[in-house]
Homo-oligomer: A and B are copies of this chain.
Amino acid sequence: MSTITNKINYQQMDKESRRTGNITLKEVAEAVGVSTMTVSRVINNRPNVDEKTRKKILEAAKKMGYTPNHVAKSLVSSRTYTIGVIIPEISHSFFPEVVRGIEEATNNKNYQIFLTNTSDNFGKEQKVLNALRSKRVDGILVSSSLTTDDFSFYKLIIKSGLPLVFFDRGIEDIGASCIGVNDKTASRQITEHLISHKYKRIGYLSGPKRVSIGKERFNGYIEAMTRHNLEIDERLIIENGFNEKCGYAAMNELLALPKEIWPRAVVAVNDPVAFGAMDAIREAGLSIPNDIAIVGFTDDIRAKLVACPLTTVQQPAYEVGKKAASKLIRTIENKDEPVETVELITKLVIRKSCGC
C-alpha cells in the first residue's frame, strides 16, 4: 500500500511541480512508443536501430526540445568532462592569456572548465579544491597560491588518483606534472643583462620561495651573481607576494635602508611586482633607470607602455595554458601518461628600464 502511495506521489510531482522543464529520455520514449534504451541508442548514435525508428525518435526529440542530462550520464560513467582550473589572480594579465590557452585545448576535446580565482588565498584554494572534488571533475589544473609548507592537501589529492597538473606555479617532487617556463635560466639571463650594465649592487624582489617560480627565479638571480663574483647582500633580497602592492611594499623596504647600501638595480620576480616597485621608486623622487634600474618577468600587457618601458622576460602564457590543459587531458584519458615537468622557452625583451 505504502509503495503505491509513494509511486503516485512521484508521478504527481512529475506532472505538476517538476522544477526543471527538461524532457527526459523516458518522455521521448513514451511519445514515440519505444523503450528508453532505443532512444538512448539513437541519441548516442549507436548502431542497430531501424532507420525509420531512428528518424521518428530524432524528430520527436527535437520537437520536444530534448537535451541529454549530462549529470545522469556522469553518474553512470564516472566521467564529467569537466576540469577544475585554479588561478591565483585573474587580474594579472598573464592569467587571462593562460585561461585562453586552456580554453582552447579543453574546448576542442569537449571539456568544460570550472574557473576559480583564489586571490592568492590558500584557504580559498583548499575550499575550492574540495568543491571540485565533490563535483567530480575529471582533473585539476592549478597554479598554486600556496604560501605555507602544507603540501599534504595536494599529496592527498594526487594519491587519490585525481589527475592534477600544475602550471606556472608548481610544487616540486609531489608526483604531478608541471608546465612552466625556464624560470631559472631566464632569471639568470636577465640578471646578467643588468650585470652587463656594470651594476654591482643588485637587489632582488622575491616571491614566496615555496612555489616553483619563486624558488627558480631566485636561484637564477643567485647564479648570475655568483658566476660574476658579485656580492649577494641579504639585505637587498626582500621576499613578498606576487602582486603590485607587494612590489610596492618590498621596494619601500629597500629604500628604507641607508642610502649607501641601496641597490643600483633591482630584479623583480614578475612584472606586477616591478610596477609596484617602480611606483615606489618614483614616489621617492628617484629616476628609472638613472638612479635605480629595474627589470621584471612576464611581459605584462603594460610593460611596453609604462613611463619607462620595462625590460622583462616574455612568457608564452597562451602556450603554457594550452600545453597544461593538453597534458591534463592526456593524463585523464590515458593512465600511463608519464609525470613530467615541461619548461617552455622564454624571450628576453630589452626595453629602457634596465638602462639600455
Contact = CB atoms under 8 A, between A and B. Distances in A.
A135 to B, nearest CB: 5
A323 to B, nearest CB: 17
Interface residues of A, number: 50
A96 B89 CA distance: 10
A134 B68 contact: yes
A164 interface: no
A90 B80 contact: no
Interface string A120-155: 000010001011111110000000000000000000
Give how many copies assemble into the complex: 2
A65 interface: yes
A96 B91 CA distance: 6
Interface string A316-350: 00000000000000000000000000000000000
A100 interface: yes
A103 B75 contact: no
A97 B107 contact: no
29 contacts: A20-B136, A21-B160, A21-B161, A22-B136, A22-B160, A67-B133, A68-B134, A69-B75, A69-B134, A70-B134, A71-B136, A72-B75, A82-B135, A90-B96, A90-B103, A93-B93, A93-B301, A95-B96, A99-B115, A99-B117, A103-B115, A107-B116, A113-B114, A114-B114, A114-B115, A301-B301, A301-B302, A302-B302, A302-B305
Contact of A71 (B80, B114, B306): B80
Nearest to A98: B90
Interface string A8-39: 00000000000111100000000000000000
A74 interface: yes
A112 interface: yes
B103 A97 contact: no
A295 to B, nearest CB: 18
A305 B306 CA distance: 6
